[in-house]
Amino acid sequence: MEKLVERFLNYVKIDTESDPNSDTCPSTKKQFNLAKVLVDELTEMGLKDVSLDDNGYIMAVLPSNIEKKAPVIGFIAHMDTSPDTTGKNVNPQIVKNYDGGDIVLNKNKNIVLSPKDFPELEIYEGEDIITTDGTTLLGADDKAGVAEIMTAMEYLTSNPDIKHGTIKVGFTPDEEIGRGADEFDVEKFDADFAYTIDGGQVGEIEYENFNAALAKVTINGRNVHPGTAKNKMVNSITIAMQLNSMLPKNEVPEYTEGYEGFFHLNKIKGNVNQTNLEYIIRDHDKDKFEDKKKTMERIAKFINDSIEGCIIELDIKDQYYNMTEKIEPVMHIVETAQKAIKEIGIEPITMPIRGGTDGARLSYMGLPCPNIFAGGHNFHGRYEYVPIGSMKKAVETILKIIELYAQ
């Protein structure tokens, strides 16, 4: 436990924020700073074939110590943190024996983590919790997963009497900007299946995720001096407002849950001449996903046809698909994870991901890869936290899965 926490606190202090505006891989060179630390640690532990390629992908092997044939299992986590909130100068705090009340993250700025806003905090009364200092994200997404995999591997190498098949370890860059699997060499990794350790609350296991697309909208208007603008000006800003108002009002993240999909406007920038909008489109159901994309196309066409002088350019690109199609033929990997979670004394929470992971992409690349909890909450922001007990249970889950497949 002590080494797990020490490892995690060390990792989160290394800035690995990814950059969606970069066209390199990894998107930021600073991700190599953590990668090199991990390579050194994996080598010290005695794992074999430890490699770090030019794109920032780490792979390593823990060879089997049993004679009988067992499946080759992979465990994968990502090293980067979200660009939504800074990951620079992370100053984690440990709240000992949480009393169930408000946690003051930053007294000077009056930033408080409260169960009134985040009621799931109450689950962890009496536990030790790692939080931010209120000025950055924490980076439990997914450095908790990285630390948990590393700790599990160290446990196995330190206890060679524990029987296990061949284990593959993979750490990826740029997951937070949707490119974590872009250069992942599935053939080199050579596992029968894998698990991403990248989920939230203790006990979670997910093998269903959103189908996802990114929609970029460019609205070209026509600027004329407002004093003489009648019947001449085409204001791209107001057209952007019209376009957004024509989308289904309740199909947005703040009004949806479970399997319900949404349109999410997450960027807007513009002036009279030109306005740019960026939407993410999400739905678990493939047909509804396709309908959402067609809805955006119909709205863009309607406005183009009805407003003279307006040109809307719409670029929609699929990002990833629901992994369930690739997991269901090998459901034993989910059932074994559920059994492992039960055997360490937790009730598994099987639920759809309202997002995506490297595992979704990897599943379509030939590596079935459901997702297991890493223990964190409130990812991507200053209210992010992770209970230490949840991290320990994630390590135990990894070890139990390995044990079950070796039996």
Looking at the structure, do residues 188 and 58 belong to the same domain, yes or no? Answer: yes
- pLDDT for the residue 49: 97
- pLDDT for the residue 356: 75
| Alpha helices in 170-235, H assignment, sequence order | 186-189
Estimate to the nearest angstrom the gap between the alpha carbon of 120 and the chain centroid.
Answer: 20
Question: Cis link prior to 142 (omega < 30° from 0)?
Answer: yes
Q: Reduce the secondary structure of 30-49 to three states and give it as a string.
A: CHHHHHHHHHHHHHHHCCEE
- pLDDT for the residue 214: 95
Q: What is the pLDDT of residues 160-216, one digit of tens each?
A: 999 999 999 999 999 998 889 999 999 999 999 999 999 889 999 999 999 999 999
Residue 199: which domain range?
Answer: 2-209+322-406
Which of 320, 338, 369 terminates a domain? The answer is 320
| Alpha helices in 192-285, H assignment, sequence order | 236-246
Residue 91 CB: number of other CB atoms within 10 A?
13
Tokens 């799931």 belong to 120
- pLDDT for the residue 127: 96
Angle at 166 between CA 164 and CA 168, to 5 degrees: 120
Measured between alpha carbons, how far is 373 from 397 in angstroms, rounded to an integer? Answer: 9
Measured between alpha carbons, how far is 26 from 179 in angstroms, rounded to an integer? Answer: 9
Q: What is the pLDDT of residues 15-28, one digit of tens each?
A: 999 999 999 999 99
Looking at the structure, do residues 23 and 148 belong to the same domain, yes or no? Answer: yes
SS3 1: coil
What residues of the chain score a pLDDT lower than 50? none
Looking at the structure, do residues 256 and 231 belong to the same domain, yes or no? Answer: yes
Looking at the structure, do residues 28 and 172 belong to the same domain, yes or no? Answer: yes
- pLDDT for the residue 128: 97
Which of 302, 320, 338 terminates a domain? The answer is 320
Q: Read off φ and ψ for residue 104, nearest 5 degrees.
A: -80, 110
Looking at the structure, do residues 311 and 239 belong to the same domain, yes or no? Answer: yes
Number of structural domains, the chain?
2
- pLDDT for the residue 374: 96
- pLDDT for the residue 310: 77
Looking at the structure, do residues 370 and 291 belong to the same domain, yes or no? Answer: no
Measured between alpha carbons, how far is 342 from 393 in angstroms, rounded to an integer? Answer: 11
Looking at the structure, do residues 402 and 314 belong to the same domain, yes or no? Answer: no
Q: What is the DSSP string of 248-267?
A: -TT-SGGG--TT--EEEEEE
Measured between alpha carbons, how far is 168 from 48 in angstroms, rounded to an integer? Answer: 10
CATH number of the domain that residue 171 is part of: 3.40.630.10
Measured between alpha carbons, how far is 243 from 300 in angstroms, rounded to an integer? Answer: 7
Looking at the structure, do residues 227 and 183 belong to the same domain, yes or no? Answer: no
- 171: closest CA among 258, 41, 260? 41
Catalytic residue list: 80, 175
Q: Residue 353 corresponds to which tokens in the numbers above? A: 């991901």
Looking at the structure, do residues 55 and 127 belong to the same domain, yes or no? Answer: yes
Looking at the structure, do residues 254 and 302 belong to the same domain, yes or no? Answer: yes
CATH number of the domain that residue 219 is part of: 3.30.70.360
Which of 320, 348, 371 terminates a domain? The answer is 320
* Residue 400 CB-half CA count within 13 A: 19
Looking at the structure, do residues 119 and 173 belong to the same domain, yes or no? Answer: yes
Q: What is the DSSP letter of 13?
A: T
Measured between alpha carbons, how far is 113 from 131 in angstroms, rounded to an integer? Answer: 9
List Cβ neighbours of 82 (8 Å cut-off, separation of 6 or more): 17, 18, 137, 141, 176, 379, 380
Burial class from Cβ neighbours inside 10 Å (0-12, 13-18, 19+) for residue 216 reads: middle
Looking at the structure, do residues 157 and 91 belong to the same domain, yes or no? Answer: yes
- 153: closest CA among 169, 172, 170? 169
